[in-house]
Structure formats: C-alpha cells, structure tokens
Structure 1
Amino acid sequence: MEYRINGPFTKEKFEDLKAGDTVLLTGTVYTARDAAHKRMVEMLEKGETLPFDIKNAVIYYVGPTPEKPGNPIGSAGPTTSYRMDAYAPTLLDLGETGMIGKGQRSQEVKEAVLRNGAVYFAAIGGAGALMAQRVETAEIIAFDDLGAEAVRRLQVKDFPVTVVLDSHGGDLYQEGRAAYLESRK
C-alpha cells in the first residue's frame, strides 16, 4: 500500500502501516546521528530537557552536506541505522514514533518499536540529492559544534520512505528475504 501522512506523526497515524508499505511524509522531521543521540541520552541521564519534544517525533538518521545558495539543505541521504541502536530504545520509550535510516536494526530496537507502537522507515540509500529536494526548510536547533551531525528541524513535503519495521512486529528485511527464498523453490 501507499500512504500520505501529514504530521504530527502520532502512533495512531502509523498504526495501519505494514512492513513494505511506501509512505510520503509531510511535516516536521528531526535529524540526528550517533553523536547527537549519545548527547541526548546523556542529557536525559542528567535530568536535562532534550532540544526538541521527543513525543510524536520522527528522527532521520542523516548528516547532510552543506547547502548550496538558495537551498535549505545539501545532499541528505540516510546513514546506517545500527549506530543508533544503543540509544533508540530510550527515545522510543519516551514517545518517539518514527525513525528513518537504512539497514537492519537490533533485536532491542525491534522490541522497542513493537512495545511503543512506533515505526522504522528506510530512505533510499544513494539518493541524497533526491531526498534533499523534499526538504522545504532546515534549521539547526542543537549541537552546532557537531557540524553535519548537528540536530536539525526539517520541514519535509512528500518525503519518500518505506516501512521496514511496523508497529505489529512486521520486518521487511525478514519477510522480503523469506518471500524471495520461497519464490526460488
């Protein structure tokens, strides 16, 4: 199935999604990679407030290149998600509803997605220029010293993603592999 979903990105808006569905997201998405995730979890451990409201947030694992004049962002392709696996369950338990990246996730992340009714989306690896075209605005909101890995608030329109882990336990990487192997018999 194909869906168009406008923010805010609540669990209810994601509950009908199944692994393999394609989605066009429109609304606010935050960027953060491993260094920013580490800092955010350290902030939480110290009792500090995160730089954005994690409830109903979607985080895109990206470190964009510098923007060209007139563009809100440079090339913005996804980074490998497993680097955030140590931090993702904490943020999911606090209300994060979606993650965007590429690659498989740990069992702990899968359990946190299921436990919290969240979704893990894959973006198109190697298509950073295409992804950047879907970003209308980009603003650094935290950790400016991290450069490309600073936390940004993006306004996206029709941002193309595919559901990899759904809130019901579906896993596109497992299901796709099984379907392929079955087709080869």
Structure 2
Amino acid sequence: MKLTVPFNEDDLKKLKIGNTVFLTGTIYTARDAAHKRLVELIKKGEKLPIELKNQAIFYVGPTPPKPGQVIGSAGPTTSYRMDPYAPLLIENGLRGMIGKGGRSPEVIDSIKKYGAVYFGAIGGAGALLSKAIKKAELIAYEDLGAEAIRKLEVVDFPVVVINDIYGNDLYKEGQSKWNRE
C-alpha cells in the first residue's frame, strides 16, 4: 500500500498490523533529545519548529552524507527511548512514528485514542533506507548533531505497520501465534 505524508485520517483507518506501506512525502527526524525539547515547548505553550498535525517522525540519527548523497545511512533507532514523550506529541497531532522495537502501553493507548500509527523500519538496513530519501534539510536543534530535527522528502520509504489505530500490536500477535503452535 502507498501512503502520502502528511497523512489522511481515512488512509490510517485502512491500515492493519503487518501491512507493508510505502511512504511518500514529508517526514521529520527526531530522537529523544529533540523529543524532550518539543515536549518542553508544548508544555510552555510555545511554537514548535515543525508542524505535528498529521505528520510522521522517523526515529533516526543519520550518518553524514558522502559526496553526491542527500543523506548518509538512515537506520531506525530503538523507539522506547521516545516513549516518555510520544503521548503528548500524539495528543498534539502527530499521527505516525517510524522506528524499531516495541512501544509502551501508554504509547499504544495514545495511538488508539488519537488515531496514530507506529511503523517499523528494518534495523541494519540504513544504507538501503537512505535511498528512499530524496532531500534532507536541517530544521532545528543543530547542536544535537545527527539527532537534530531534519525534514526529509521521501519516495516509497518502506515500513511495516506495528501498531494500528485500533490498538493492535504486531509483535504481541506474532508471539501469540508462535506460542500456540
């Protein structure tokens, strides 16, 4: 299935855990240090450096690009480090997160309550994932280096639905099926 970011609510309703999705459009990068700063701004009622409404954040700290590249290797980082911050970002309009690994019950509750989706990207395949990134622009928090917020333009960026808007969890379902056999 192909989806455009920023997301359309109806498209997110169609997604089920295990679906392979190819994202095209604008996504942002941010890891835990940037998430902490975004949450602090929200709590202070200040303007964010990015638009969260219907957007996706890719949990990545890309390597520097080699000559002729838009971006270096861009593999997902472990998502649980963003779990303390994700519920408030989801409440404020974030509808997609891309990373690796499971999410906390609090994040899954927020995903279900606000209609967001958590996508998994393949860890260890950062060089391949970077080929789907056509443009990268530094947006905020340059002092964070690789963990600064970047705006990425992606075409057919491959992900898998791990948590859908209905609260389903691919990891738990997969373990459940394995344990029954």
Q: TM-score, normalised by structure 1?
A: 0.96
CA RMSD of aligned residues (A): 0.7
Match of residue 90 from structure 1:
88
TM superposition shift of 1:176: 0.7
Uncovered stretches (5+) of structure 2, i.e. residues with no partner: none
Q: CA offset at residue 91 of structure 1?
A: 0.4
The Cα shift of 1:7 comes to 2.5
Task: State the match for 2:23 in structure 1.
Answer: 25
Report 1:95-114 matches (<5 A): 95-114=93-112
- The 2-side partners of 1:100 and 1:157 are apart by 15
The aligned counterpart of 2:123 is: 125
Residue of structure 1 aligned with 2:148, choices 147, 150, 155? 150
- The Cα shift of 1:69 comes to 1.2
Partner of 2:33: 35
Give the letter aligned to residue 151 of structure 1.
I
Aligned counterpart, 1:16:
14
Secondary structure of the structure 2 residue equivalent to 1:15: helix
Question: 8 Å contact 2:6–2:56 — kept in the other structure?
Answer: no
- After superposition, give the CA deviation of every residue in 1:64-92 in whole Å (9 maximum; x if it has no partner): 00011111100000000000000000000
Identity within the alignment, %: 59
Tell whether the 8 Å contact from 1:10 to 1:97 is kept in structure 2 after alignment. no
How many equivalent pairs are there? 181
Cα distance in 2, alignment partners of residues 66 and 7 from structure 1:
24
Runs of 4+ with deviation above 3 angstroms:
none
Asked if structure 2 preserves the Cα contact closer than 8 Å seen for 1:124 and 1:161, the reply is yes
| Cα distance in 1 between the residues matched to 2:82 and 2:10 | 24
Give the Å deviation of 1:37.
Answer: 0.1
1:98 & 1:49 partners in 2: Cα distance? 20
CA contact 2:5–2:56 (8 Å) conserved in 1: no
TM-score normalised to structure 2 length:
0.98
SS for the counterpart of 2:160 is strand
Given that 2:5 and 2:55 are in contact with CA atoms closer than 8 Å, whether structure 1 keeps it comes out as no
Give the letter aligned to residue 125 of structure 1: G
